Amino acid sequence: MRLFRRLATALVLLCSLLSQAQAADPDYPTKPIHWIVAYPPGGSTDLIARLMGAWVSQRLGQQVIIENRAGGGNNIGTELAIRAPADGYTIFLVNPANAINATLYSKLPFNFLDDMVPVAGFVRVPNVMTVRKDFPASTVAEFIDYARKNPGKINMASSGAGTSVHLSGELFKSMAGIDMKHVPYKGAGPATTDLISGQVDVIFDNMPSIISHIRGGTVRALAVTSAQRSPALPDVPTVAETVPGYEASAWFGASAPKGTPAYAIARLNREFNAALADPAMRARLAELGGVPIPGTPEQFWALQRMETERWAKVVQASGAKAD
C-alpha cells in the first residue's frame, strides 16, 4: 500500500511537470497578434488599444494589429473574439459595454464572463458630461433646469446602446428627474463630430476621447462623472456636486478566447503590467484622465464581475433595453 501511494504521488508529480512544460512556450509570440476593438477608430476604446498595442509590440517583438469591428452595441466585435481560435493570437479590448450588455440585452449568443478569459486590466477613467459649444447652460444645475422646461427636446448622444456613455446618461436622467432623447452612434468618434457641429446637445463620453476637444474649446465640459474631481480637468466639478450620489466611470482591459494557453496569458499580462509601470505611459494615461489598474488576470476578472453586477442595477432601475 505504501509503495502504491509513492507511485501515485510520483505519477501526480510527473503529470504536473508535464503540464508545466506544456504551459511554457519561451518562443511565444512567433507571429502578429490580432487585437479586436468593438468600436470604430477615434473613441476611447480604440485610443487605449493603440497606445497599449504600440508599447507591447516593441516588447513582444511582434506587431499587435488593431482590428476595429464596430456594430451591435459592442456585441459584434465581442462575439467575433469569442469565436476566434484560442491560440494566443487573438485578444479583445474589454470595456464597460461588456458588463452592461449582460443585462441590457435579453438574448445574447454568449456569456462574456464564461466565454472569455481575463488577461489584464489597463485603466479606469471618468466620463465627462459635455455639451455643444452654444448650449444654453453653463452648469449642471442650469442644464437640469433647462431640461425640465424642455422635456424630451435635448438630444443625448452616445457611442452606442449599452456603452458606459449611454448608461451614464440614463443614470443622470433617472437621478435628475429629466427626460432626454437618446441618439446612439457607432462609436464616440462620429458622436463627437455631431456634438461639435451642433447636431446633438450632450454626451457623457469617456474622458480619453473627448478631453482634447474640451481643451480645444470646440465643446464645453459641465462635469465629470467620477466621485472626485479629475486631476486632468481640475476646474470641472463632479456631477455629484449637484446630483448627490451620482457616480459612473469607465474601465478598460484585455481578454482572450476561452482556452487560450496559460503561457500566452502570462506573457501578455506581464507585458501589459510593464507598460502600466512605464513613466511615459503613465504620464500619457494621466493626460487622458486615466488611472492605471495593473494586476493579475484574476483581479481583472473580479473587476468585470463586480461591474457586471453594478451596471445590472442601473439598467434595471432605468428600464433601458436594447432589443
Which pLDDT score is estimated for 321?
A: 73
**pLDDT lower than 50: segments of the chain:** 1-22
Which pLDDT score is estimated for 106?
A: 85
Which pLDDT score is estimated for 302?
A: 97
pLDDT in tens, 248-303: 989 999 999 999 999 999 999 999 999 999 999 999 999 999 999 999 999 999 99
User: What is the third-level CATH fold of 126-241?
Assistant: D-Maltodextrin-Binding Protein; domain 2 (3.40.190)
Task: Read off the amino acid at residue 277.
Answer: A
What gap in Å lies between CA 81 and CA 58, rounded to an integer? 23
Q: Range(s) for CATH 3.40.190.150 in the chain?
A: 30-125+250-318
Helices (H), ranges, the chain: 2-23, 44-60, 75-83, 96-104, 112-115, 140-149, 164-176, 188-196, 207-216, 262-277, 279-287, 297-318
pTM: 0.81
- 8 A C-beta contact, residue 184 and residue 160: yes
Q: Range(s) for CATH 3.40.190.10 in the chain?
A: 126-241
Which pLDDT score is estimated for 120?
A: 98
User: What is the third-level CATH fold of 30-125+250-318?
Assistant: D-Maltodextrin-Binding Protein; domain 2 (3.40.190)
Helices (H), ranges, 94-237: 96-104, 112-115, 140-149, 164-176, 188-196, 207-216
Task: Read off the amino acid at residue 200.
Answer: V
Cell numbers that stand for 14 in this block = 510527473
Which pLDDT score is estimated for 222?
A: 98
